[in-house]
Amino acid sequence: MSRKHFGTDGVRGTVGRSPMTPDFVLRLGYAAGKVLTGSSGARGERPTVLIGKDTRISGYMIEAALEAGFSAAGVDVLLCGPLPTPGVAYLTRALRLSAGVVISASHNPYADNGIKFFSGDGFKLPDAIELEIERELEAPMGCNESAQLGRARRVDDAGGRYIEFCKSTFPSELDLKGLKIVVDCAHGAAYAVAPHVFHELGAEVVPIGVAPDGFNINDDFGATAPRQLTAAVKHNRAQLGVALDGDGDRLVVADADGRLYDGDQLLYAIIRHRAAREKVSGVAGTLMTNLALEQALGRLDIPFARASVGDRYVLELMRERGWFYGGENSGHIICLHKHTTGDGIVSALQVLGAMRDQGRTLAELTADLVMYPQVLLNVGVPAGFDWRAHAPITEALAAGERALDGHGRVLLRPSGTEPVLRVMVEGEPRPAIEAAAQSIAQAVRRCAGG
């Protein structure tokens, strides 16, 4: 059975359109609840789930529908309000709950929303459980009798617990005193926690993107729009800037000169620091990981492997091979010895720990990582569009590869979260990769009907 509703990162879409409608979310909560009660029933337990969300206006509606669905299935619900995705993963594990649920569309605009699940161990649900929920969705929805309904209550100290967890991942012998750091929370889920983490470790914090109104999440702020970050770093004469996305699981960093560092560069800074102190068994990246990182890790004799795009696939590869480090150039970085999922705050602390421990700037830590130019274009396509079935696209792809003459690579892949086809061309010289990317993107537009 193929997945109908679950994508690479849960269920996601534009609110008001299938599947992000209140009736579907109600059924999803009930279906997930029935799966959970089935797995817990043998132990005689009433399952309990934690529901967190970001700051989108639609979060209220989706939270209420999910709560009703879980209750109808006999599942107790803990509501923690706005909290980063990795915070929900942490609390699910720390409180020994059956599952955690995050209402968020991550870096997408406010009109979108989504639902993703964590199992009781803090890891994202395996495919087999998602398929079981999909099967349950096909059955008619019922409702337990009153004596068997689930209860719901608020968790008032969720943010404080998560703040303390984040601080615990920073070396106890180090602090951030003397540093001025701009923290951009994208008007998203981290707005009430991230600034406190860095401040309580000793930094002078300049918070931006911390005034959510339900509509401004990711709007010109955050990891996907770092212009405000670099401007604030320069204006406030800060040593560093940290930008998170709407649900707080990815980051971009800016230095005092306004130079931006993506996930590949930040992961390298962490790995290089760790490799100087212990053997690093391997690092997982994705098909989008810059070739420069793979080559730099090779010079350090550290194995590297690529997974499909998506942090869940990076994590699967890491667990399969017993590795502790992995990430995406988009800013998802996973340090399994610190957390079970990508965490923007925790990852930023690992970078800061490397800088403080070695007394070096981020530019110095990444000086020997010379990134290959990379052009990424997002082309809107209809749902289910198969680019391989269109000869003009495959011909443009082959022509682009010939033009690079072995000095780069071309990748086309459908997004798992948006109705776009991503066209990535990497290599040298830059004019060649830009020309190849534009040619392929134009072919996609023609074949996609516009």
Query: Helices marked H in 56-101 — which ranges?
Result: 59-72, 85-94
Query: How is 114-158 classified by DSSP, letter by letter?
Result: EEEEEETTSSBPPHHHHHHHHHHHTSPP----GGGPPPEEE-TTH
Going by C-alpha positions, the residue among 168, 348, 126 that lies closest to residue 241 is 348
Q: What is the CA radius of gyration of the chain?
A: 22
> Is 106 a catalytic site residue?
yes
Q: CA-to-CA distance for 369 and 363, rounded, in angstroms?
A: 10
Helices (H) and strands (E) in the chain, counts: 14, 18
Adjacent-strand bridge partners of 423: 377, 412
Q: CA-to-CA distance for 362 and 259, rounded, in angstroms?
A: 10
What is each CA distance from 33 to 41, 51, 135, 175, 344, in whole angstroms? Answer: 11, 13, 13, 43, 29
Query: 58, 71, 98, 106: which is the annotated catalytic residue?
Result: 106
Amino acid at residue number 120? G
Amino acid at residue number 376? L
- For 248, the token pair is 């707080």
Cβ burial of 199 (10 Å; 0-12, 13-18, 19+) is: middle
Catalytic positions, written as ranges: 106
